[in-house]
Structure 1
């Protein structure tokens, strides 16, 4: 029997898929296609896009001083990010097989397609790559953490959460002691939807 929560989650997933389909329609509007994770623009689009590139001189000249001064602070975050990336990747490669948890596919979370935009200068492309890496890393780590939480503590919280991760719908209701004791082992290993 489908619960109201499962019905809502299914509706959310359907809307998310509809949103992704709508976003894919941009390929036609802006004259590009994606093949094997690489973006290909039509020649006319490339010419049109290059007309909008901002020279490095103008880019730096127009940059507010506070942005230039704060840039090193932003870029300092790369060191703990790389360490976290390496640590969590090693963790899932070693521990997930021990626990019977499917590994998170790294490539599903990182997308560096902004490098194909001809209207970005080199600084903008580097900044976009940094943001793509960082946001991809956060999503990748969240999925590793979600699968870990499903295995070790698959209990919903009593309080409201701002964001729900991908595995939360599998968790057992807060306060439902009997269901926890009867279903915890099944819930820990319920990764069929990932296969």
Structure 2
């Protein structure tokens, strides 16, 4: 194992630790997650409602320029929906042929902020949009990462800003022998996705 593989392994461990810590926060803010649904006690819900900003005040406090930019924020919705559908269809049709395990959208697109009673309607809609869009990008990235692992699992010569979940399985740039001898095995290395 080289130093890059060692660092990528540490990143995997840290990401698992982060997910554990994020789950542990539930106790601090008095909620539970049951069957992917968030549950607050009635007392906590009542306390949250006291913090909700009135929508008129929220809009007024946002200012003219923020309101003016809203159409530009919402413009990517239609392309995002098309991207979502085409990537879903792509993996539905192609992944079984390649033997790649499908990516579960629900693991990436998490829409749960509507349960927060301290958000007004506008904030909830905005949170829905951000949750969907960022989740979609994560979902698409994972589908692309698994595709890249199958078709071209070679690391880049130049450092990349952010590596995806499958990068640690890739061959070193310039390792022609390793690539030719190990490609078939790497194409089947998806045990860690389950």
1:108-165 CA-partner distances (Å, limit 9, x unpaired): 1111110100000111101100000000000000001001101111111000000000
| Match of residue 85 from structure 1 | 84
44-53 vs 126-135, which moves further: 44-53
| Match of residue 140 from structure 2 | 141
How many residue pairs match? The answer is 194
Superposition deviation, residue 3 in structure 1: 3.8
Superposition deviation, residue 98 in structure 1: 1.1
1:160-191 CA-partner distances (Å, limit 9, x unpaired): 00000010100011001111111112112211
Mark the runs of 5 or more structure 2 residues left unpaired by the alignment: none
SS, match of residue 53 in structure 2: coil
| Match of residue 179 from structure 1 | 178
Mark the runs of 5 or more structure 1 residues left unpaired by the alignment: none
Distance of 2:43 and 2:153 partners within structure 1: 52
**What is the TM-score of this pair, normalised by structure 2?**
0.95
Where in structure 2 are the equivalents of 1:56-135 lying within 5 Å?
Answer: 56-135=55-134
Distance of 1:101 and 1:88 partners within structure 2: 14
Where in structure 2 are the equivalents of 1:18-33 lying within 5 Å?
Answer: 18-33=17-32
**What is the TM-score of this pair, normalised by structure 1?**
0.95
